[in-house]
Chain A
Amino acid sequence: MTTLAVTAPDRRSLWRRSQNARTAYLFLFPALIVMAIITFYPLVFQIWMSFTNYGLANLRATAPPPDYVGLENYGRILDNNIVLPNFDFLRILVFNLFWAFSNVVIHVVLGVIVALILNTKGLLGKRLYRAIFILPVVIPQIIVATVWRNMFDPTHGAINFLLQGTIGVLFKLPPDAFNMDWLNQPNPILAVGPFILPLAYFALLTANVWLGWPLNSVVATGALQSIPNDLYEAAEMDGAGFWAKFKTVTLPYLRPAMLPYAIYGFVITFNLFYLSYFMSGGGPFGQTELLVTTAYRLVNEQQLYGVAAAFAVFEFFILLGITLVTNRLAKATAQFDA
């Protein structure tokens, strides 16, 4: 008992010593083993595959190994020399970037606007609205995609019925005025070189806006609620109007919360598989195909494992580039704040 005072510091140093690498690696061991086998090994294996003509013939356990083909797969992708219908690497990349960018801008702006509305003091029914507005987030994406696909059906879809029932009735148009083939209409709305926007893009955009703004609104609400009220009062004393208050008080608090989330949203939307795959099926003529859906078709429909691996390597570097650029932008704007 008398030694207690002496041993206590020892125990504290024991605490420090137990923060050593061995304990850490004991905790990490299961994750490292599992990730080494099912995450990192496939990634390395993928790089090797990308230099081979891995195909159906090499699948079975007893099958001969594929041949080394050097950079042929990479060259074929850049030359659009692949049997996949309507494959055009540059067009897919340009569309994919525009798809992610346009979505995120709309999501963030709408999210902030709704958060501002719901943050108005004295608004009745706030809680109910917040509960309803979260619904798009809680529905599985694959269901969202298939339901919207049906809604945009040309002859039986809700969207055409809705347009018919509102605009059609209002302007006394004939009953078949709205049978737009939203997802397969072949003439693009806009086409500038590799930048092509078919009508299907706007259908996909509608569905993804429905899906995407609510979470942005939640994040914006969190940021808005952290703004001290005295700042608004001080601004009011100075005679600031709505816009002035928004610019000097709200925006500086919103930006640090929204910017990382916007970057995260950009990557998520860039890789959004379900809407493109299930709503438009990449059509018309592959014009709404994304990099992820293309990668999937290369493996699933064409069994071109080697080419698919090279494609995934390209995808990795594109994502890396996006991350570096967006981080740069985030840092630059942060400095601008200070």
Chain B
Amino acid sequence: MTSQVGAVPAPVPGVRFATRRRQAGGLPIGRQAMLQILCLLITVTVLFPIVWIVSIAVDPRDIARPDGLNLIPPGATLDAFAQVIKQPTQNPVSFPQLALNSVIIAALVSVASVSIGVLAAYAFSRMQFRGREFLMIAVLAVLMLPAVATIAPLFVSLNKVQIGSFNLRASLIGVALAVTSSQLPFAIWNMKGYLDTIPRDLEEAASVDGANRFQIFWRVILPLAKPVIAVTAFFGFIAGWTEFYFSWMFLTGDPKSWTLAMTLNGMVGQYAANTPWSQFAAYSILVALPVCVVYLYLQKYIISGLTIGGVKG
């Protein structure tokens, strides 16, 4: 199968000769031009919201509300970014403080879902045991449920854990637990799919050499599974970094314990009448940019995983 991917066939001379006209890149020039126009149109629609938000963010007037479609505002400035980093809303909290809270949730979700998930994924991928089918269906069933669907019992149960003045529900750890509860089944399923594609010969060879299951897992499987581990950890990180509904519901304390997404809701939500759009735009870019950069960096692995799943199905 793989040998056919991207294979360029030898041109058939007869056909070539018959259709020889003015060509650009192997296509008749008319068709090339038509497709280029189409592609450029699609490019414009894809880029339009991105260009719009960047243009508001760098508008030198630090505008409260846009008054026209100025995609390249005269005399761009980064003032809105500086303001947002110092204090994004009227709450006395800075962007780095909010980002730290979000990073704590993101890191907890990412580490927990990958480290616990990869062990389970290996068991599901390689071992036969009683209850395997049942457990796999249980994981899959949970995967189908939206995270919001278990918010009531999670809120109520986590709220009961009260040690002194510490309430688990109202803490970053509580939010991380809630996010992990929906992220872990995804992590298991995603990594199992990848482990299934690693050939078994390597393990058998290691086993003949006297390695036990845990040594095989540690020395053979983990190094080979690095790409999927990176991707799954990244998805866990995004889930925590941009998490909104659990934190908005759980973190009822002072704004210093808030997360990035909660503040974003404060900027555009029902209390948003006072936020200048330049600052909203700058804030959005600051939240989105790290995710975009890592995503594009890992893109090769993410997409190949997706297409494997697609073609296999």
Residues of chain A having any CB pair with chain B under 8 Å: 8, 11-12, 14-15, 18-21, 23-25, 27-28, 30-32, 34-35, 38-43, 45-46, 49, 54, 58-61, 114, 117-118, 120-125, 129, 131-144, 146-151, 155-158, 161-162, 165, 210, 214-215, 218-219, 221-223, 225-230, 233, 236, 256-261, 267, 271, 273-274, 278, 281, 292-293, 295-296, 298-300, 305, 308-309, 312, 315-316, 319-320, 323
Contacts and interface: CB of A to CB of B under 8 A. Distances in A.
Interface of B: 1, 4-9, 12, 15, 23-27, 31-32, 35-36, 38-39, 42-43, 45-50, 52-53, 65-69, 112, 115-117, 119-120, 122-124, 126-130, 132, 135, 138-139, 142, 144-146, 148-157, 159-162, 177-178, 180-182, 184-185, 188, 204, 207-208, 210, 212-213, 217, 238, 241-242, 244-245, 248-249, 261, 264-265, 267-270, 277, 280-281, 284, 287-288, 291-292, 295-296, 299, 303, 306-307, 309-311, 313
B146 to A, nearest CB: 4
Contacts of A18: 207, 212-213
Contacts of B135: 28, 32
Contacts of A258: 310
B145 A140 contact: no
Contact of A31 (B119, B248, B310): B119
A167 to B, nearest CB: 13
Count chain B CB atoms within 10 A of each CB in A215, A281, A293, A316 and give the residue with the most.
A316
Contact of A140 (B6, B157, B238): B238
A138 B235 CA distance: 11
B210 A11 contact: yes
A125 B244 contact: no
16 contacts: A18-B213, A20-B129, A24-B132, A30-B115, A46-B152, A61-B161, A122-B23, A122-B24, A122-B27, A123-B32, A147-B49, A156-B277, A158-B48, A222-B311, A225-B4, A299-B151
A39 B135 CA distance: 13
Given A129-B42, A256-B311, 20 more contacts: A12-B207, A24-B123, A25-B129, A31-B120, A31-B184, A34-B112, A38-B180, A120-B31, A132-B47, A135-B47, A138-B292, A150-B277, A156-B277, A222-B306, A256-B313, A257-B311, A260-B310, A274-B244, A292-B149, A315-B146
A132 B130 CA distance: 48
Contacts of B123: 23-25, 27-28
Which DSSP category, helix, strand, loop or mixed, fits chain A's interface? Answer: helix
A279 to B, nearest CB: 10
A315 B149 contact: yes
Nearest to A273: B148
B285 to A, nearest CB: 8
A9 to B, nearest CB: 10
Nearest to A218: B303
A19 B127 contact: yes
Contacts of B303: 134, 218
B49 A292 contact: no
B208 A11 contact: yes
B25 A123 contact: yes
A230 B26 CA distance: 19
Contacts of A30: 115-116, 119-120
Given A31-B120, A122-B32, A223-B310, A156 B270 contact: no
